[in-house]
A = this chain, B = another copy of it.
């Protein structure tokens, strides 16, 4: 492996000059720059990351803490991961995987050993045990998800409250007067991820202001539990029933439960779920969806942390960003108020 010294020698300049050509931190004459760049080409020189990190105190690596995954969520997590990795490259950074299995000590490890310059935490819980550690780390950290106490933290997430509002508002506009909201699957609810509450609060506010009844029922992937919820919803509904199933994993079970009862989405019942456009179109009856914008959230998270790194932020910062959600009508919801 050639070093910058080799390049310097080949170009007939000092090693420091090579460094300045690369960093642009001092003016370099066109002539010298050309010589150096040619030498770099010829030797296929690439700067050594370790040495660079040692000298500059910057690794250009961001640690990404991925959650331990209740099986069924993996797909959506992967969406975050890949967008985050690709976006990081745009800022000339790399992503180091940190699994949640390592817990809080894992964070201290990667930061303490200076393997990375900052962290992105996914799937932050309302009362996340890692928060005290996060606050004590002297590096920028961006949380995806909003804990109960976000003071001193940089957080970003989809605007779940807006999402809840949008769903109820749209169903109400379609003429539904009773709307049933199915909970996330148990694994999520048990984690006290606070987007569940935010979503629910959004539905309730909208329901109240529009004068429609909003029911909250247990969701999850257990067929019997969901069957019970559906029956209860149907019993309490006057007019055409409407369901909101913000958890992608619940949708499959819901679809089956409705079909068992002879109900066809878009005709006898309205259903709004959460899925990517591609997946939504793939359904037998294209699913009306509330898009929680995972890609946009990911991109902004990376942007945020890179800006913090750029600004060389040391002390605690505080900020909170909510990404607007998007509701899309497909065939699983009624278009017009029935009887109009």
B75 x A99 contact (CB < 8 A)? no
* A-side interface size class: 35 or more
Identify the stretch in A58-66, A143-151, A325-333 within 8 Å (CB) of chain B at 4 or more residues.
Answer: A58-66
B86 x A99 contact (CB < 8 A)? yes
For A282, the chain B residues whose CB sits under 8 A away are: 221
A113 x B54 contact (CB < 8 A)? no
How many copies of this chain does one complex carry? 2
Mask of A210-227 contacts with B, CB within 8 angstroms, 1/0:
000000000001010000
Q: A46-B109, A51-B50, A282-B221 are in contact. Are A115 and B99 (CB under 8 A)?
A: no
Taken together as a complex, chains A and B put the C-alpha atoms of A223 and B283 apart, in Å, by 10
For A68, the chain B residues whose CB sits under 8 A away are: 82
B89 x A99 contact (CB < 8 A)? yes
A21 within 8 A of partner (CB):
no
Q: A50-B51, A284-B256 are in contact. Are A101 and B86 (CB under 8 A)?
A: yes
> Closest CB-CB distance, A285 to chain B, in whole Å?
12
B278 x A48 contact (CB < 8 A)? no
- Chain A residues with CB under 8 Å of chain B are 1, 44, 46-54, 59, 61, 64, 66, 68-69, 71-72, 74-79, 81-82, 85-86, 89, 94-99, 101-102, 109-110, 112-115, 221, 223, 256, 276, 278-279, 282, 284
Can you name 19 extra interface pairs (CB under 8 A) apart from A50-B52, A61-B115, A71-B75?
A: A1-B114, A48-B54, A48-B113, A48-B114, A49-B53, A49-B59, A49-B115, A50-B53, A54-B54, A61-B96, A64-B97, A66-B85, A69-B82, A74-B79, A85-B99, A94-B98, A95-B96, A96-B96, A221-B282
What are 23 A-B pairs at a CB distance below 8 A?
Answer: A44-B112, A46-B109, A46-B112, A47-B113, A48-B113, A49-B59, A49-B114, A50-B51, A50-B54, A50-B59, A51-B54, A54-B54, A68-B82, A71-B279, A74-B78, A74-B79, A75-B78, A78-B78, A85-B97, A89-B102, A95-B96, A96-B96, A96-B97
